Structure 1
């Protein structure tokens, strides 16, 4: 099975650790965790958990597009929160990105998230278009 690493300038580049923004393999896109970082500067954006959730998903959408997929093709999401008190506010934003066919999801609280973020989101999607 072939594997293709995905990198796009429309999403923040890896800054902590050594990894690809995503890997395409076996008809799936395996996205690395996305922080609420600005694609141009790589800096964590200002704002609350809702602003951060939007940015994480926008970053994932850019990576998915570069991988021949889209946010509508996501089948599994993992959300990592720093504080479960943010769950409802995160969920309000999260639900705006998926309609009737919602992906499977896990949401857990973790002790720390890289770069001092309060949320990190990763996903797996089906490749729906030309893969890189």
Structure 2
């Protein structure tokens, strides 16, 4: 998101941007994706589940965190995907 607007582009590009944003937030907190213990993914259309799964999986590694995918009617600003993560810092 730049200046209150979502990234325009393919679903994959949008998910990559979400993951890059989350990576920056995690790094600012002194952790990384390996510290993530739970991910919640909200989608407005389950037909994009495969794309979400593929891109999300490219950033995560074994042992994978718990994950849930929730299909909702709509997301803020017309987003197709929203991802939240819980990470533990030792």
RMSD: 1.2
Question: Of residues 64, 69, 94 in structure 1, which corresponds to 2:26?
Answer: 64
Question: Of residues 114, 117, 121 in structure 1, which corresponds to 2:76?
Answer: 114
Question: Of residues 15, 25, 29 in structure 2, which corresponds to 1:53?
Answer: 15
Shift of 1:43: 2.1
* RCO comparison, higher one (Cα < 8 Å, 6+): 2
Question: Of residues 29, 33, 39 in structure 2, which corresponds to 1:77?
Answer: 39
Whole-angstrom CA distance in 1 between matches of 2:20 and 2:4:
14
Whole-angstrom CA distance in 2 between matches of 1:42 and 1:62:
18
Unmatched tracts of structure 1, length 5 or more: 1-36
Moved over 3 A (4+): none
How many residues are paired up? 90
Alignment-derived partner of residue 127 in structure 1: 89
Whole-angstrom CA distance in 2 between matches of 1:55 and 1:74:
18
Name the TM-score, length of structure 2 as normaliser: 0.92
Q: Which has more helix, going by share of residues? A: 2
Unmatched tracts of structure 2, length 5 or more: none
Q: Which has the larger radius of gyration?
A: 1
